[in-house]
Amino acid sequence: MIKNINKFPEDFLWGGAVAANQCEGAWNVDGKGISTADVATAGALNVKREYTDGIIGGKYYPSHEAIDFYNRYKDDIKLFGEMGFKCFRTSIAWTRIFPNGDENYPNEAGLKYYDELFDECLKYGIKPVVTISHYEMPYSLVEKYGAWRDRRLVDFYLNYCNVIFNRYKDKVTHWMTFNEINVITLHPFIPAGIKIKPEENKEEVIYQAAHHQLIASAKAVKLAHEINPDFKVGCMMVYPLAYAETCNPVDVLTTNEFMNRHYFFSDVHVRGHYPNYMKKYFERNNLNIKFEDSDEEILKSGTVDFIGFSYYMTLVVSGNNDGKTLTGGNMTKGIKNPYLKASDWGWQVDPVGFRIALNNLYNRYEIPLFCVENGLGAVDEVEEDGSINDDYRIEYLRQHISEMKKAIIIDGVEMIGYTPWGCIDLISAGTGEMKKRYGFIYVDKDNDGNGTLERRKKKSFYWYKDVIKSNGEIL
């Protein structure tokens, strides 16, 4: 029997989400090492970022200062408290804890920083939700081992997990192992530090690295449960819902195959084994992925408690892309959907798609879902009186929350919470811009790094406060 729910659950985790490298700054203080995010320069509208070999003079690296959350977190968390956040999703910068990644002992200053940050959240009744690796890792691991292509990374990651699980076991309950783990197949450097050499088989390197991350993730889940049986550990994937361009079965088949490339990651995380379609894919494409004897057992023993995912937009897929206009999307591109409007960055806004996504994921796996990223990247204007009237953002969020409500109440989808992305403006992961804003809180800084970093409440700040206060009744 399912419970007859007609509103959001009482303990629903309303909150907001950020990632360390996109907000903290302070990239080289208190013993922090250089991360893969620290070698990324800024692009411009839809221009991908450049990943340099180390820090090169004369270039602008937005993560180095970001929005200076490292020094201003107390004031920022106070504002989250004012909005009534029940949770706050952030990541731990691996390089604050292990500057090079392969040390035996952690950096105490880094551990202390997150102790204080989590305490500050708890002071306002805000539960920290932690991503263990969000689009960054020690750059030294890239140089020394070629990053996740090397199986030794599993042990370095586990060592890091062991330290943070033990240290924060009384402060954090919800963890996610790798942010948008499935993005590795699209941009291997961003989530996994992988640089492909010209002579290499790109796909083989990517899926080998992905295998190492999946093993690391399963081992981390098992370890987490041993350290604290109350820990809830999730995977985190980008969910790029794709529609077939037409009812031509070839378009539908291509769309299914497109989705399988993404479901592969959640299938392994939730079911604890490789799906047959993927084994066949490796076979068909002559991809030789090395497994160790114990791998099957490891995957089986480390299945996740929930599915964390990001949802921003949807895509259209065809069996034949010739001559078709493609539009932007989160880490990927697709054909333009004539039924949808797009953001200034070309991401196709699709609230009903959100309900479909929730149903697809829940019906496939039947474990709780946690939407840990959703939102509209838009240009905000500060009016003469200092106000920021971001009605477009309110409208985007209102429509998405309303579809989420239907998925819970009408369709029976089980959800833990909802944390809109970039609850305070931060630098874009895709382009490094500041102009692409998601926040309820404005930060005075531009694409070139100029600005006072002053914080300002937007109209959406007050709106979201009422949403949380009414537990989603007032939208």
Token output for 392: 């477009």
Nearer to ligand BG6 among residue 5 and residue 44 (C-beta) = 44
Catalytic choice (136, 373, 403, 433): 373
Nearer to ligand BG6 among residue 163 and residue 441 (C-beta) = 441
Question: Of residues 133, 140, 330, 343, which one binds ligand BG6 by CB under 6 A?
Answer: 330
Does 185 interact with ligand BG6 (rule: CB under 6 A)?
A: no
Does 372 interact with ligand BG6 (rule: CB under 6 A)?
A: no
**3-state class of 25 per DSSP?**
coil
Does 254 interact with ligand BG6 (rule: CB under 6 A)?
A: no
Integer angstrom CA distances of residue 324 from 88, 256, 317, 319, 464: 40, 20, 11, 11, 38
Does 310 interact with ligand BG6 (rule: CB under 6 A)?
A: yes
H runs (alpha helix) in 318-374: 351-365
Token output for 378: 């838009």
Does 38 interact with ligand BG6 (rule: CB under 6 A)?
A: no
Residues near 358 by beta carbon (within 8 Å), at least 6 away in sequence: 369, 371, 403, 404, 407, 411, 413, 415
Which residue stretch of 48-56, 264-272, 409-417, 422-430 sits at the interface with ligand BG6 (rule: CB under 6 A)? Answer: 422-430
116: annotated active-site residue: no
Nearest distance from C-beta of residue 95 to ligand BG6, angstroms: 17
H runs (alpha helix) in 137-193: 139-145, 152-167, 189-192
Cβ(220)–Cβ(302) under 8 Å? yes
DSSP 90-108: EE--HHHHSSSS--SS--H
297: annotated active-site residue: no
Does 331 interact with ligand BG6 (rule: CB under 6 A)?
A: yes
Nearest distance from C-beta of residue 69 to ligand BG6, angstroms: 14
Integer angstrom CA distances of residue 123 from 94, 171, 231, 418: 24, 11, 20, 21
Question: Of residues 421, 461, 463, 464, which one binds ligand BG6 by CB under 6 A?
Answer: 421
Token output for 83: 């909005």
| Cβ-proximal residue to ligand BG6, closest one | 430
Nearest distance from C-beta of residue 428 to ligand BG6, angstroms: 3
Nearer to ligand BG6 among residue 216 and residue 429 (C-beta) = 429
Does 180 interact with ligand BG6 (rule: CB under 6 A)?
A: yes
Interface with ligand BG6 by CB under 6 A: which residues?
A: 19, 22, 135, 179-180, 238, 310, 330-331, 373, 377, 421, 428-430, 436
